[in-house]
Structure 1
Amino acid sequence: MEMKGVMGGFYRISEWIMRLAVINLLWIICSIPFAFLVLTAFLSTGVEGVDVTQSFFSWIFLAILASPFTLFPATTAMFGVARKWVMGDVDVPLFKTYFRNYKENYLQSMIGGILYALLFAIMIVDYRVYMNNPSLQIVSYIFIGLMLLLSISVFNFFSMVVHYHMKTFQLLKNAILITIGRPFRSFSTAIVSGFVFYISFTKFTFLIPFFMGSIIAYFAFWNFYLVYQKVQDQMEAKKRQAEEEADLVDNELEKGTKK
Structure 2
Amino acid sequence: MENGGHLTRLYVICDWVARLAYINLLWIGFSVAGFILFGLMPATAAMFTIIRKWIMGENDFSILQTFWQTYKTEFLKSNALGGILMTIGGLIFLDLRISQSGTTSFSLVMSLLMISGLFILFIMFLYVWPIFVHFNLSIFNILKTAFVLSISQPIFTIVMIVGSLAVYFTMMNIPGLIPFFGGSLLAFIMMWSSSLCFNKIMKDSN
TM-score using structure 2 length: 0.88
TM-score using structure 1 length: 0.71
Greater relative CO, 1 or 2 (CA 8 Å, sep 6+): 2
Deviation at 1:6, TM superposition (A): 4.6
* Letter in structure 2 aligned against 1:116: L
Indicate yes or no: 2:92 matched with 1:140. no
229 and 75 in structure 1: CA distance in 2 versus 1, 3 angstrom threshold = same
What residue in structure 1 maps to residue 140 of structure 2?
169
**In structure 1, how many angstroms separate the alpha carbons of the residues matched to 2:83 and 2:192?**
26
What residue in structure 2 maps to residue 204 of structure 1?
174
* Identical aligned residues as a percent: 31
Tell me the alpha carbon deviations over residues 110-131 of structure 1, each in whole angstroms, 9 at most, x when there is no partner: 1111111110111011001001
186 and 5 in structure 1: CA distance in 2 versus 1, 3 angstrom threshold = closer
Deviation at 1:139, TM superposition (A): 2.2
What residue in structure 2 maps to residue 20 of structure 1?
20
Deviation at 1:104, TM superposition (A): 2.1
Indicate yes or no: 2:69 matched with 1:103. no
Indicate yes or no: 2:91 matched with 1:122. yes
What residue in structure 2 maps to residue 56 of structure 1?
none
Native 8 Å contact 1:82 1:217 kept in 2: yes
Native 8 Å contact 1:76 1:162 kept in 2: yes
**1:77 maps to which of 38, 43, 46:** 46
Tell me the alpha carbon deviations over residues 26-78 of structure 1, each in whole angstroms, 9 at most, x when there is no partner: 112233454xxxxxxxxxxxxxxxxxxxxxxxxxxxxxxx4xx2322221111
Tell me the alpha carbon deviations over residues 9-42 of structure 1, each in whole angstroms, 9 at most, x when there is no partner: 44333221110001111112233454xxxxxxxx
**In structure 1, how many angstroms separate the alpha carbons of the residues matched to 2:151 and 2:41?**
22
Deviation at 1:7, TM superposition (A): 4.3
Tell me the alpha carbon deviations over residues 120-154 of structure 1, each in whole angstroms, 9 at most, x when there is no partner: 11101100100111211342132122112112211
Tell me the alpha carbon deviations over residues 87-123 of structure 1, each in whole angstroms, 9 at most, x when there is no partner: 1114532212222222222222111111111101110
Deviation at 1:209, TM superposition (A): 0.6
Q: Please show how residues 143-158 of structure 1 align to structure 2 within 5 Å.
A: 143-158=114-129
**In structure 1, how many angstroms separate the alpha carbons of the residues matched to 2:5 and 2:14?**
14
* Letter in structure 2 aligned against 1:131: Q
Native 8 Å contact 1:79 1:162 kept in 2: yes
**In structure 2, how many angstroms separate the alpha carbons of the residues matched to 1:189 and 1:168?**
22
**In structure 1, how many angstroms separate the alpha carbons of the residues matched to 2:6 and 2:186?**
28
| Number of positions where the alignment pairs a residue of Structure 1 with one of Structure 2 | 199
CA RMSD of aligned residues (A): 1.8
**In structure 2, how many angstroms separate the alpha carbons of the residues matched to 1:110 and 1:170?**
16
**In structure 2, how many angstroms separate the alpha carbons of the residues matched to 1:148 and 1:70?**
26
